[in-house]
Every structure is written in C-alpha cells, then in structure tokens.
Amino acid sequence: MRRVKKILNDPAKVVEETLEGMNLAGDGATRLLPGNIIVADREKTDKPALLIGGGSGHEPMFAGYVGPGLADGAVCGQVFAAPSPDAIVAATKAVDCGKGVLYVYGNYSGDNMNFDIGAELADEDENIATRTVRVRDDVAAAPVERMDDRRGIAGDFFVIKVAGAASEAVDTLEELHRIAAKAEANTRSIGIAVSAGSIPETGEPTFELGEDEIEIGMGAHGEPGAKRQKLAPADEIVDQMMDLLLADLPFKKGDEVALLINNLGSSTPMELFVANRRVRARLADAGITVHRTEVGPFITSQEMAGYSITLMRLDDELKGYLDAPASSLAYSN
Amino acid sequence: MRRVKKILNDPAKVVEETLEGMNLAGDGATRLLPGNIIVADREKTDKPALLIGGGSGHEPMFAGYVGPGLADGAVCGQVFAAPSPDAIVAATKAVDCGKGVLYVYGNYSGDNMNFDIGAELADEDENIATRTVRVRDDVAAAPVERMDDRRGIAGDFFVIKVAGAASEAVDTLEELHRIAAKAEANTRSIGIAVSAGSIPETGEPTFELGEDEIEIGMGAHGEPGAKRQKLAPADEIVDQMMDLLLADLPFKKGDEVALLINNLGSSTPMELFVANRRVRARLADAGITVHRTEVGPFITSQEMAGYSITLMRLDDELKGYLDAPASSLAYSN
Amino acid sequence: MTTELDVAGVRGMFVAACDAMLENIELLTHADQAIGDGDHGVGMKRGFAAALAFLNENEPANVGEIFKGVGGAIMSASGGASGAIFGTFFRAGNKSIGDAVMLDGAGFAAFLKAGLEAVEKRGGAAPGGKTMIDALDPAATAASGAGEDLEAVLAAAAAAAKDGVEATKSMIATTGKARTLGERSLGHPDPGAISLSIVLDAMAKAAAGADAATA
Amino acid sequence: MTTELDVAGVRGMFVAACDAMLENIELLTHADQAIGDGDHGVGMKRGFAAALAFLNENEPANVGEIFKGVGGAIMSASGGASGAIFGTFFRAGNKSIGDAVMLDGAGFAAFLKAGLEAVEKRGGAAPGGKTMIDALDPAATAASGAGEDLEAVLAAAAAAAKDGVEATKSMIATTGKARTLGERSLGHPDPGAISLSIVLDAMAKAAAGADAATA
Ligand SMILES: Nc1ncnc2c1ncn2[C@@H]1O[C@H](COP(=O)(O)OP(=O)(O)O)[C@@H](O)[C@H]1O
Ligand SMILES: Nc1ncnc2c1ncn2[C@@H]1O[C@H](COP(=O)(O)OP(=O)(O)O)[C@@H](O)[C@H]1O
Ligand SMILES: [Mg+2]
Ligand SMILES: [Mg+2]
Ligand SMILES: [Mg+2]
Ligand SMILES: [Mg+2]
C-alpha cells in the first residue's frame, strides 16, 4: 500500500512530540504534564473546571483549546485512540479547583469507556465530582431517534467554547453541565471527504476512495458516512449537506445560528470559502440568520481532504458564552 | 497528468466565489468591492491606510487579514497572479483616508509591476500618495547581497501585523512606512515542501517530487528552492532550515524574536508542532528567546504539503505593534 | 494434559499471548482499516508491549496479580476502545481468581464469564453487535462446558473464539467506529474479535506446550 | 506583399493573434509548470480573451486605439507578471503609433522598439535573463532592419522571436519565478517568450493571408 509522506521523527513518539511543540507554542500559557496532558498555566480560581480530550491526530483539537475562556485542560490519547483512565484521573486532579470537573468529549465508545472509568476513579480515589457531556453532532452517523449512536465531530468546538466561557461565569458544576448540555443539544454537523488521512505509525491511508468519488457523512477518523457517490460541483455537494443538516434539529425560519466550516485536513481554504457562499445562500433561503462564522482547521483528521459544516442554534445565553473572550493556541476572540 | 480532486464549482470563477465566501464569513466586518477587493467595513478615520494584496490561492492571505489592527483592504488577483493596476487603484481609493496608502506585498515581479503601475495611476489620476514595502523574507531565493531578488513568503504576515497596528497609531504615511520597512528588514523565512499544490483552473500539480524527495527552500507558488534531497527525520530537516535562517540576518545570542510556523497547505498540524519542538531547542541553544509563536495556515500554496519557518527580530517598538489588538477573519489577538 | 498452571506457568501463558499479539499487529491494522479507523494494531501493540514489560519486570505473588497487572498495563498503554475493553476484560480475572496460586480450567472459565460480564457492563454492547464480545461470548460458553482441565478449557475457548471471529463477518456493526458502515461492514471480521482469538489461541498453545514440556 | 494595413486590417491581425494564443493555452501552462508556477496559460487566456472581446465590441478610430485597447484589456484581465508585461508592451504601441490610420513595417518596427523599452523600464529585466525580452529584443532588431514592408517586417520579427525562444533554453533565469531554479531552468524555454513568439507568428501569418486575399 502507498505510504504517506510526512516530515516526522519516530512515528511511535509523534503524540509526545506534538504536545511538546504545542505546549512550547503557548509561550508560557500552558503546562505539559506526564500522561499527555496540557493544562492552562494560571492561578486556580474557585470555579467548576472544564476538561476536554480524546484521541490525538485531530490537532488543533483538543490541546489547542486550553486557556482562559476555554478548557482548563486537555488529556490526549494516542492517534485516534481515547486517553487512558489513569491519564484522565491525573488531568482531572490537575484542573479541579474544588468545585468538580465537567468532561466534554466526542461520543465514541473508546472515549466513553475511558472517561467513565476515569470518572469512577476520580470519585473513588480522589473524591472529585465529575459530570459529562458527550458531543453527538454528526447527523450522518445515526437517525435522530438514536442520538446516542451519533459521534462527535466539529461540533466539539462550539460546545467547548460555550462550556469554557460558562465555566468562568457560573458557580456550580450542575450549572456548567446544564449550559454545556444545552449547547450540545443545539449543535449539528455533517462532513464529507474526497481523500483519506493516515495514522503516522502505520503510514497507510485509512480508506480508499475512487478518483471521482466522494463520501457524504465521513467521520473524523475516516469512519464511513451516509453514502459514497460521484464527485459533483461544490454547490450540489453543499446542498446535499445542508438538506441533511437543516432537517435534523430541525433548524427553522427565524433561528439564529453559529456556523463552523471545518477543514478536515488538506482541503484548500478556497474550497471552504466557496462552500460558505452556498451555505449562506441556503441559510438565507431558509430564513436563518448567522450570528458568527468560523472557517478553518478546528478538528482535523490528519491529511484527510474534506470538510464539515456545523450549525449551533443560539439563544441569548448561548450567544453570550459564544461571544465571550477566549484565548488559546488555536482560538482567540 | 494526474488531476487533483477538489470540491469546486467552475474553476475559472474560483477567486470570485472564494472572496464572496470570505466576505460572508466576516459577518459584516468587511465589504466586497468589484475587482476582487475586500475592505474593512468601518468608519474612515484620519490615518494612513494599509493596503495589502497579491495573487489568490494563498488563503487566508491576503483577504483574511483585513480588519481593525490589520489591513484596511486587500486587493486579490487570480490564482498565483498579481492583481491588475486598475483593481489596485480602485482599492487604493477605497481605503485612503486622506493621508495616503502604504502597500505591503510580497516581492515578485508580477506584484511589483502591477502595484507600481497602480501607484503611478493613483498619483496621477487620483492624487493619492502611496509608499511601498515589498516583503523579501525568503532566504532560499537569493543570497543576502541580493535582497531584492528574494521573494515574500510567510513573513508577509508579520509585516502586515506590525504595519496594521502601526497604521492605527501613527500620523503620517512616512512614519508608517518606516515601521513597516523595519519589520520587513528584520524578518526571515525558509520553506520546504514534500508534495505539490495545483492551480484549480489547470487541475494539475505545479511540480513533481519523488516519493522520498523533499525540496528545501520551496517558494509559496511551488517555485523551486535551494535544493532537492532525500526526505529525512523532522529534526534533521528543521536543523537544515534553522542553519540557513539563523545565519542569514544573522540572528544572535540575546535576540528576541517572533516565530511563525506556516502550513503551506496539507501538512498535518502534528508535523508543524513536531517542528516547533526542534525550532525551540535550536533557538534556546543559540541564546535566542521567543516572545510570541504562531502556528497554522497563514499563507498557503493550495494543497502543497510542506511548511515554512519565519523569525522576526524584535525591538520594543516592533513588539508593541505585534502584540497590539487585531481582529480579522483569520487572525485575532 | 495441563490440568492447571502455577503462577510461573500462568505468567508464561500470558507472555505467549503477548508475543502472539505483537506478531500480528499488521493483521489487526488492516482489519481496522477495513471497517474502523486503522489504529487497532498500534493500540494493541502499545498495550501488549506494556503487558509484556509488566510480566518481565514483576514477580506476581498470585494469579490474580497477573490478571490485574496485564489488564492495567493494557488499559493505560493502549487507550482507545480496545484498551478499555481488554483492560476491563483481564482485570475481571483478578476479581474472579483473586489470590489463588494455581489456575485450572474452571478458574479460567470463571474468568471468561466474569470478563464477559464486565465488558458488557462497561461498553453496553451485546452479542451480535460485531465486537470482541462475539468471540468472547461463545468462548465463555464453550469454556464453561469443558470441565476442569485447563488445556481442554483453553482449547475449547480458542476454537469457539475462532468460530466467533468467522461469525462476525456476517454481522452488521452496531457499536464502535464500524457502526456507520452498515451493510458495508459485511464480509469483514471484527478487529477486536480477532485480537481475542489470537490471545486465546496463544494461551491454548502455551498450555499444551507446557504439558508437553512437563509430561 | 502586404505593405501596410488599415485599421480593419490591423484589427484582423490582432484577432488572429488572440485566436492563436487561445489555442495554445495548454502549451503555455506546461511551460510555466516546468520553470514557474503554472499559471501563465490561464493568465494569457484571461488576457487575450479580454482583448478579443475588446476587438469585437469596439470600433477603434485609429491604430493606436487598437494597441491601447488590447494592452489595457490584457493588463487588467491577465494580472500577474505577464499581464503587466504584455499590457505595457502593447500600450507602448499607442504612444509610438498614435492616431495613425495605417500600419506599415516601419511603424511596426517602431512599436517593437518602443515596446521593448517600456518593458525593460517597467520590469527591470535585460536580455539574457530568460524572459519574453529574449524573444522581443531580437524581434525588434530584426524588424528594424527589414525595411518598410509590414509583411516582411512581421516575418523577420516572428522568425527572430522563434529563435529567441530557442535561445532561452540555454539561459539561466535571473528574473521572475524561475530565478531560484538556477541551473535547473536550463533546457526549458521561457513561457513569456513563447507567448510573444505565438503573437508575432500569428500576426505575420495574418498579414501574409491578408495579402493573399487582396492580391
Ligand atoms: N462497546 C464495546 N464493547 C465491546 N467491544 C468493543 C466496544 N467498542 C469497541 N469494541 C472493540 O474494540 C475494537 C476496536 O478497537 P480500537 O480500534 O482499538 O478502538 P477505537 O474504536 O477506539 O479505534 C472493535 O473491533 C471491537 O471489538
Ligand atoms: N521583469 C520581467 N520582464 C520581462 N518579462 C517578465 C518579467 N517578469 C516576468 N516576465 C515574463 O512573464 C512570464 C511569466 O508570466 P506569468 O506566469 O503569467 O507570471 P507570474 O510570474 O506572475 O506567474 C515569464 O515567462 C517572463 O517571460
Ligand atoms: Mg481509534
Ligand atoms: Mg503567477
Ligand atoms: Mg480503531
Ligand atoms: Mg507564472
């Protein structure tokens, strides 16, 4: 099989070296702890804390979103593999300020199991209360009746942004959980891909697509989507995506939304902006207004070529937290 | 020749559609004018203005850096082609506040000629004074004795950031020019690539590299670099780059720098962070401290895989402008 | 027949399982590329290498400590779904076997039963969902009907797990990253099921070999 | 021999040049891929398509207006180095020819000389730098020695430009995007020189054809 060309050292150490580089890029804003944990380097304040995490290989997600107004820490697994319970417990201890810790992560069986074990250990061994919000924004993964079978993709970012801002503002873990859960419940995404990413350690593309094929509903690890079809003009592809997305929550006339177009890796920014043009036309047609747009690499899937579209339906509370100041390696506001 | 797979509409209209999408993504912060011009949508204040521009295909450069604390406008050519003089004149008129306009762009013969013609027309027909700073940061393009033969790559960003902040603070075009020229004079970059980008309208890779080859000194349009060699571990590649970079200005013990690691397109963020790790080790060895780091896609070259490293040597004045607040589609501070 | 093994024997059986896993990484990678995200091989490599290190660097006082150490090593070094699953699976052996210093067939069958329950509880998956449970569940059933003799129990479990892997080919995934493949997952075996089968097969062979050596 | 052309004849000669350029886009693309950034073909396509539109949609009153309109269309539609260069080149014809209503060989030779000077002034490149100047400079020289007859002057200029293109193959680029190629630019012709040669060749053929038609 074709081996992917990358500029790396030992692929087995890529996660450790990546996190070292990310921590250094923070120029003092973060600290790197054993177990592939990055935490914000600031005085502990008396607040419920936010811990995020998941498999690596999606940079800048998760460690790029650690800082004031965002997460207090990120616990990072190996490439496409959830972090282990002991790392999760160590990260939980590191971020807890005495008011407990909210976990926000994508809904995958690996993450669910490892964070759940971590939560049990944090409770039993460390006496730290935790709550969990699993992001299930990918409409392609399962019908709406089976929300729990849906995986978390770029919607992670909006939930993290809202939860990060809320964690600075509210007093209890319950309240933080309520707000993050509301953000999650109002977020929907759909992804597509035209070529595969690869895991550095294997160096092989995780799937194969024909020269003129596109996968609608592609997941952030190259998991298959809703369907595979012939490549078509951008406007047609975006229309298919928007049809699935708008129908799902559903988003309705008069809704106000935040919009995120996420680069899964090596799509050109041009393609994302061309898509945005059509997304906005569709939203205007549907009578939906956009409060805020983000375009760029928020959660990548190695060098996969493709992108996803995310909408979060807003109310005044969510809007306030979304607009609140934030500062981190990958997102400032 | 292999055709590159992208999600576009009519490739001949890709620049227009991209700019439409970029303008919409600003959610009201910018306006799109005829001639592929994006300007900040704000009250004209009594200040020397900053106009940036160049060929398209490098998104988010240039139109992504329009906003308070950054450029007042960007004039965008077709893919990899400088904008025409008439568009430059129109953009000059749109951003001028009565105190003249500074042009900042990369040093390419196409940009130089078109902006020079534009400047002559702005002077003759519109009575608008202009000054120019051409960014010549690419150390691979020519020896230091022939600075004018060097092209502008990711160093554009630092010069734009400093000039944008300065344009809000100073009173005259001369003073703005002095500061931008100082930023330019203190900025050096070096790029590498492992695979090519393509121009949407031709759909063909702009160069070919062997399966285990890397080009050291690759330019932002796929122009060849200093040399082509076998791929090696990241640390060795970064060492080669740092050797060229540090020797050039030269950067010396005790210097304080800003650091930018720019994704040329489809390198994975992991690769950039792994590189940052080694860059920081080399800088520490050389007794150079880093004031601020940026990592991500600042000036891309379509889907080229590769990255560049940029250093700007700082003094208190440059540091102040670099840290000043800025807000735009692609960079906020 | 190897009726039972002492602590050193159990340790040897686990070393054999680790070795077998480490020899089959590419197979697991390709299985996960076909219907998952391609990382099952590297995950198992990290986990079983850590388990091997544990076995090489420690002197377990009883059989339970071996199960606990191996499960803990896999859980913390593998990460991912399979780290939690295989970690949970082996650690269940510590609870069911505890500080026993000998492992016989009934003990191993009890471990498989406890492991299955723990995995089902942790992951919420059920038989038929195209996971390692579809190798584990038949293995546990076969083991519980195979008497007291360790070698016989292991042989029965390994054979049943192997059939279980085959059976996963005709299942449509309902759990994990293969879920959205739907019908496209047909024809491919489940990667985690393959891993379990490799482990049980290596253990069965080790137990048979231990017999030959001491017979 | 076509000694001179009126406004309609000059217009026809430019239409032929535009058509020839538009037929050779891929050639130009590949030439620029070899030593530049690959956009020369699409740039010339935009420019000469705009020039053709100008020619089709306007009724120029004199020869100078044709040169000015074509140069302006290319300059604003092409962009890039070649837009400025070819735009500057053709616009120089307006200054040298002005409101004349006939174009003869001496007039064309004067245009090439003025165009060369304008291009050198605008871009700062000199002969030997592997640019379109290496086709234009010999063409201008050949034209100035070829007398008054337009057809003869064009034939001489076109032949010299063609040789000029050949000569660029053995030059090392010192300007533009091919500069950093250094010795690697050897063996490849300069894309802009090819364009100039196509233009002059098409004009020469058009002038010869115009003759044949009116002979
Ligand atoms: N909930 C679950 N219950 C049992 N086994 C599971 C569960 N989820 C996943 N698995 C097993 O884990 C295997 C995948 O492991 P791995 O590739 O390492 O994890 P990931 O899905 O995180 O990439 C699957 O083949 C399956 O056998
Ligand atoms: N300074 C210059 N003087 C004369 N011709 C030039 C100059 N710079 C570039 N050219 C011509 O322009 C051609 C490249 O055109 P094009 O590919 O359209 O521009 P770009 O370099 O902006 O991509 C070169 O082949 C060369 O003939
Ligand atoms: Mg995984
Ligand atoms: Mg160009
Ligand atoms: Mg997997
Ligand atoms: Mg070119």
pLDDT digits (tens), chain C, 215 positions: 789 999 999 999 999 999 999 999 999 999 998 888 889 999 999 999 999 999 999 999 999 999 999 999 999 999 999 999 999 999 999 999 999 999 999 999 999 999 999 999 999 999 999 999 999 999 999 999 999 999 999 999 999 999 999 999 999 988 777 777 778 789 999 999 999 999 999 999 999 987 554 43
pLDDT bracket for residue A1 (50, 70, 90): low
**Domain assignment of residue B56, yes or no:** yes
Above 70 in pLDDT, residue D162? yes
- Determine the pLDDT at residue B304: 97
A288 φ, ψ to 5°?
A: -105, 130
Nearest to C180 among A84, A110, A225 (CB): A225
Chains D and B touch each other (3 or more Cβ pairs < 8 A): yes
Nearest to D123 among B109, B202, B217 (CB): B109
For the question of residue A177 being annotated catalytic, the response is: no
Say if residue D182 is exposed, middle or buried (CB neighbours under 10 Å; 0-12, 13-18, 19+): middle
A172 and A294 both lie in a single domain: no
Q: Which two tokens stand for residue D156?
A: 């001489």
A261 and A179 both lie in a single domain: no
B191 and B259 both lie in a single domain: yes
Helix (H, G, I), strand (E, B) or coil at A87: helix
Tell me: cis bond preceding B60? Omega within 30 of 0 counts.
yes
A233 and A262 both lie in a single domain: yes
For the question of residue A58 being annotated catalytic, the response is: yes
For A146-186, the pLDDT digits (tens) are 999 999 999 999 999 999 999 999 999 999 999 999 999 99
Ligand 2 close to Cβ of residue D31 (< 6 A): no
Identify the CA nearest to A1 among candidates A267, A199, A230: A199
Beta-bridge mates of residue B32: B38
B173 and B207 both lie in a single domain: no
Identify the CA nearest to B257 among candidates B283, B230, B220: B283
Sign, Cα dihedral of D10, D11, D13, D14 = positive
CA distance B83 to B198: 19
B44 and B154 both lie in a single domain: yes
- Determine the pLDDT at residue A2: 66
Q: Are strands A37-40 and A30-33 parallel, antiparallel or unpaired?
A: antiparallel
CA distance B132 to B116: 9
Q: Nearest chain D Cα to B201, which residue?
A: D42
**Any idea what the CATH number is for the domain that residue A168 is in?**
3.40.50.10440
Total domains present in chain A: 2
Can you list the pairs that B254-257 forms with residues at least 24 positions away whose Cβ atoms lie under 8 Å?
B254/B287, B254/B288, B255/B287, B255/B288, B255/B289, B255/B313, B255/B314, B256/B288, B256/B289, B256/B290, B256/B291, B256/B313, B256/B314, B256/B319, B257/B283, B257/B288, B257/B289, B257/B290, B257/B291, B257/B311, B257/B312, B257/B313, B257/B314
Q: Which two tokens stand for residue B265?
A: 């397109």
Helix (H, G, I), strand (E, B) or coil at A140: coil
Sign, Cα dihedral of D35, D36, D40, D41 = positive
Tell me how far the alpha carbon of residue B323 lies from the centroid of ligand 5, in angstroms.
43
A235 and A263 both lie in a single domain: yes
User: Min CA distance, C33 vs chain A (Å)?
Assistant: 5
B19 and B161 both lie in a single domain: yes
CA distance B316 to B216: 33
Choosing from B185, B200, B224, the residue where a domain stops is B185
Domains of chain D listed by start with CATH number = 4-211 (1.25.40.340)
Return the residue in B274, B303, B314 with the most chain A beta carbons within 10 A, the one to mutate for interface testing: B274
Give the CB-side neighbour count of residue A149, counting CA atoms within 13 A: 17
Q: Are B18 and A192 inside 8 Å of each other by CB?
A: no
Tell me: cis bond preceding A60? Omega within 30 of 0 counts.
yes
Could you say which residues of chain B have pLDDT below 70?
1-2
**Domain assignment of residue B270, yes or no:** yes
Q: Nearest chain B Cα to A266, which residue?
A: B266
Identify the CA nearest to A261 among candidates B39, B37, B24: B24
For D137-159, the pLDDT digits (tens) are 999 999 999 999 999 999 999 99
Above 90 in pLDDT, residue A36? yes
For A224-265, the pLDDT digits (tens) are 788 899 999 999 999 999 999 999 999 999 999 999 999 999
Sign, Cα dihedral of D168, D171, D173, D174 = negative
Q: Are B113 and D84 inside 8 Å of each other by CB?
A: yes
Tell me how far the alpha carbon of residue A287 lies from the centroid of ligand 6, in angstroms.
44
Nearest ligand to the CA of B108 is 2
Return the residue in C76, C177, C181 with the most chain A beta carbons within 10 A, the one to mutate for interface testing: C177
User: Min CA distance, B193 vs chain A (Å)?
Assistant: 10
B106 and B215 both lie in a single domain: no
**Domain assignment of residue A172, yes or no:** yes
B48 and B152 both lie in a single domain: yes
CA distance A28 to A22: 11
* Count of beta carbons in the 10 Å neighbourhood of residue D36: 29
User: Min CA distance, D75 vs chain B (Å)?
Assistant: 6
Cβ contacts of A81 on chain C, cutoff 8 Å = 39, 42-43, 78-80, 83
**Domain assignment of residue B328, yes or no:** no
Identify the CA nearest to B26 among candidates B71, B70, B56, B66: B66
Out of C21, C44, C82, C196, give the residue to mutate to test ligand 1, the one with the largest number of ligand atoms within 8 Å of its CB: C82
User: Min CA distance, C160 vs chain A (Å)?
Assistant: 25
Q: Are C79 and A140 inside 8 Å of each other by CB?
A: no
Q: Are B117 and D84 inside 8 Å of each other by CB?
A: yes
Percent of chain C with pLDDT over 90: 85
Nearest to C83 among A114, A116, A199 (CB): A114
- Determine the pLDDT at residue D179: 74
ipTM of the complex: 0.94
Cβ contacts of C75 on chain A, cutoff 8 Å = 84-86, 117
Q: Nearest chain A Cα to C122, which residue?
A: A113
Query: Which amino acid, residue A87?
Result: A
Out of D29, D82, D197, give the residue to mutate to test ligand 2, the one with the largest number of ligand atoms within 8 Å of its CB: D82
Between the alpha carbon of residue A310 and those of residues A157, A229, A279, B120, B176, the distances in Å are: 10, 22, 10, 46, 41
Sign, Cα dihedral of D162, D163, D164, D165 = positive
Enter the DSSP assignment of B327. B
**Domain assignment of residue B330, yes or no:** no
Above 80 in pLDDT, residue D111? yes
Determine which one of A221, A278, A282, A313 is catalytic. Answer: A221
What pTM did the predictor assign? Answer: 0.95
Q: Are A223 and C178 inside 8 Å of each other by CB?
A: yes
Percent of chain A with pLDDT over 70: 99
A213 and A124 both lie in a single domain: no
**Domain assignment of residue A29, yes or no:** yes
Above 90 in pLDDT, residue D183? no
Out of C28, C174, C175, give the residue to mutate to test ligand 1, the one with the largest number of ligand atoms within 8 Å of its CB: C175
Chains contacting C (3+ CB pairs below 8 angstroms): A
Q: Are strands B130-135 and B101-106 parallel, antiparallel or unpaired?
A: parallel
A178 and A206 both lie in a single domain: no
Choosing from B169, B185, B201, the residue where a domain stops is B185
- Determine the pLDDT at residue B1: 56
Q: Which residues surround ligand 4, an ion (CB under 5 A)?
A: B 80-81; D 37, 39, 80
Q: Are B201 and D42 inside 8 Å of each other by CB?
A: yes
B202 φ, ψ to 5°?
A: -95, -30
Cβ contacts of D184 on chain B, cutoff 8 Å = 224
CA distance A36 to A157: 20
Q: Which two tokens stand for residue B122?
A: 């702005």
Q: Are A79 and C176 inside 8 Å of each other by CB?
A: no
Nearest to B149 among D33, D179, D184 (CB): D179
Nearest to A297 among B6, B269, B329 (CB): B269
**Any idea what the CATH number is for the domain that residue B294 is in?**
3.30.1180.20
User: Min CA distance, A300 vs chain B (Å)?
Assistant: 8
- Average pLDDT value for chain B: 96
User: Min CA distance, A166 vs chain B (Å)?
Assistant: 21
Helix (H, G, I), strand (E, B) or coil at B217: coil
**Domain assignment of residue B315, yes or no:** yes
CA distance B238 to B258: 17
Q: Are B270 and A14 inside 8 Å of each other by CB?
A: yes
Sign, Cα dihedral of D191, D192, D193, D197 = positive
If one compares C33 and A114, the residue with the highest pLDDT of the two is A114
Identify the CA nearest to D68 among candidates D115, D9, D105, D113: D115
Q: Are B322 and B314 in contact (CB under 8 A)?
A: yes
> DSSP string of D65-98?
HHHHHHHHHHHHHH-HHHHHHHHHHHHHHHHHHT
- Determine the pLDDT at residue D214: 47
Choosing from A150, A185, A220, the residue where a domain stops is A185
Q: Are B223 and D178 inside 8 Å of each other by CB?
A: yes
Nearest ligand to the CA of A110 is 1
- Determine the pLDDT at residue B44: 82
Chains C and A touch each other (3 or more Cβ pairs < 8 A): yes
Nearest to B114 among D36, D37, D79 (CB): D79
Q: CB neighbours of A316 closer than 8 A, spacing ≥ 6?
A: none
Domain span including residue B169: 11-185
Query: Which amino acid, residue A105?
Result: Y
Tell me how far the alpha carbon of residue B110 lies from the centroid of ligand 2, in angstroms.
7
**Domain assignment of residue A1, yes or no:** no
Identify the CA nearest to B333 among candidates B215, B165, B103, B87: B165
Mean pLDDT of A42-65: 96
- Closest-CA residue, ligand 2 atom 1, reads D123
